[in-house]
Amino acid sequence: MITDTLAANALSGAIKDSSMLLSFMFNPDPEMAGTPIEPAAQRTGTYKGKPASTGRSWRINMEHAFIFDMDGVIIDSEPIHFDVDIRTLGHFGVETNEQELERFVGMTNPEMLGIFKQERNLPHTVEEMIEYQLNLKMNILKNLEIEPIAGVVALMEQLREMNIPMAVASSSPRVFIEGVLGKFGLSRFFKTVVSGEEVPKGKPAPDIYLETAKQLGVQPQHCVVLEDSRNGMLAAKTAGMRCIGYLNPNSGNQDLAEADLQVRSYDEIRVRELFGNDL
């Protein structure tokens, strides 16, 4: 009987220690170690500025995912988008510049052009402006000579070796996303692709990232997002995901201070540290 009691106590202690370790892995803040993990949708309140759990039951989902934005993250295309947007709006009688357009980085084209239409009282439809804009972009893409951003393919290779599913969640139209991925031979890395124009609301709303997690079959809190824009970062954080902010100087003046990690080079990203020791 004494032996059975000792064994039961030892087992109870081991289970408690294992729970604490798993909790720490999914709560990077040491003060949160031992706090039950819940789906983001069930969290209420805040803890040190972050959502705080209110219940005691929790489940660990051992599957993770890594989600890439595309423009300014996979290819350095933001300068191209700035140029095309300036030319498009100029065609419809609106003078603008890169500084004015910085606030729209990460948003979908219909949302951006819809705002211009409303603010400038334009007689043209958003559909007319999008058609003109997309034709310009696709013509440029055909002759685009730039390569993927340094280090991004190596990052994808590392994630694939660790069996971490990947996706692209971009505000660009699907035809442009697939054109870019096809041109550089990157489609092979991704389990799914989601365009911001395919969800009810674009970035900074969380819709695109929640839909991407759903298609991947991974809980949002187990996803890591790579973003270069404030709108994209806010979308990821609102979705309950961790976000790496890539400080791309060609993406304009983007405030990424609320990202979980900021990097200037993809060599700074340590994949195993992101996901814990269970890979």
Q: How many CA atoms lie within 13 A of 124 on its CB side?
A: 21
How big is the CA angle at 11 (ends 8 and 12), to the nearest 5 degrees?
A: 85
Q: What is the pLDDT of residue 144?
A: 81
Per-residue three-class SS string for 203-266: CCCCHHHHHHHHHHCCCHHHEEEEECCHHHHHHHHHCCCEEEEECCHHHCCCCCCCCCEEECCH
241-264 burial, b at 16+ Cβ within 10 Å, e below that, comes to bbbbbbebeebbebebeebbbebe
pLDDT tens digit sequence for 24-51 = 333 444 333 333 333 333 333 333 343 4
pLDDT at 111 over 50: yes
For residue range 146-199, list pLDDT tens digits in order: 899 999 999 999 999 999 999 999 999 999 999 999 999 999 999 999 999 999
Residues sharing a CB contact under 8 Å with residue 153, sequence separation 6 or more, in sequence order: 186
Looking at the chain, the number of H-run helices and the number of E-run strands are 10, 8
pLDDT tens digits, 209-254: 999 999 999 999 999 999 999 999 999 999 999 999 999 999 999 9
pLDDT band at 277 (very low <50, low <70, confident <90, very high): low
Using one digit for the tens of pLDDT, what is the confidence trace for 73-97?
A: 999 988 889 999 999 999 999 999 9
What is the per-residue pLDDT for 141?
85
